[in-house]
């Protein structure tokens, strides 16, 4: 899975019928060392109710279809967790409660 920040949304009227009603979020991958965005973006389906600005991780490829929301759908990226804490080399580098550290 890859760590990323929810930075936006995509709206589409004309789309493959199977993905009607799904929320499409734009994620920017982040470097966990600095918690900075990497200017590398992906559109992911949301299966956990993630919101703008939240740190998440998402699953790619066929694995992204293993959630209740994405099963059988043409999904190649699905958010599977909203991150509470990230610990690197024994130090807390991110805490959702306290924001970036």
* Residue closest to 40 by CA, chosen among 28, 51, 26: 28
35 binds its own copies (CB under 8 A): no
99 binds its own copies (CB under 8 A): no
46 binds its own copies (CB under 8 A): no
**Among 23, 74, 98, 99, contact with its own copies (rule: CB under 8 A):** 74
**Helix (H, G, I), strand (E, B), or coil: what is residue 91?**
strand
Cβ neighbours of residue 11 under 8 Å, at least 6 residues apart?
Answer: 24
Residue 60: C-alpha distances to residues 35, 66, 71, 93, 99 (Å)? 21, 10, 13, 24, 26
Q: Closest approach of Cβ 97 to its own copies, in Å?
A: 11
**Among 21, 23, 36, 75, contact with its own copies (rule: CB under 8 A):** 75
67 binds its own copies (CB under 8 A): yes
Cβ neighbours of residue 3 under 8 Å, at least 6 residues apart?
Answer: 29, 30, 32, 55, 56, 57, 83, 86
Question: Which 9-28 positions form the footprint of its own copies (CB under 8 A)?
Answer: 9-19, 24, 26
Interacting residues toward its own copies by CB under 8 A: 1-3, 7-19, 24, 26, 31-33, 39, 41-44, 47-49, 52, 57, 59-68, 72-78, 80-90, 93
């Amino acid at each position: 899975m890859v760590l990323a920040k929810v930075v936006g949304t995509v709206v589409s009227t004309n789309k493959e019928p199977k993905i009607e009603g799904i929320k499409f979020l734009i994620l920017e991958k982040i470097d966990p060392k600095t918690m900075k965005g990497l200017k590398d973006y992906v559109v992911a389906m949301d299966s956990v109710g993630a919101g703008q600005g939240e740190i998440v991780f998402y699953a790619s490829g066929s694995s992204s279809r293993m959630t209740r929301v994405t099963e059988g759908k043409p999904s190649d990226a699905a958010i599977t967790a909203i991150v509470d804490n990230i610990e690197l080399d024994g130090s807390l580098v991110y805490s959702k409660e306290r924001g970036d550290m």
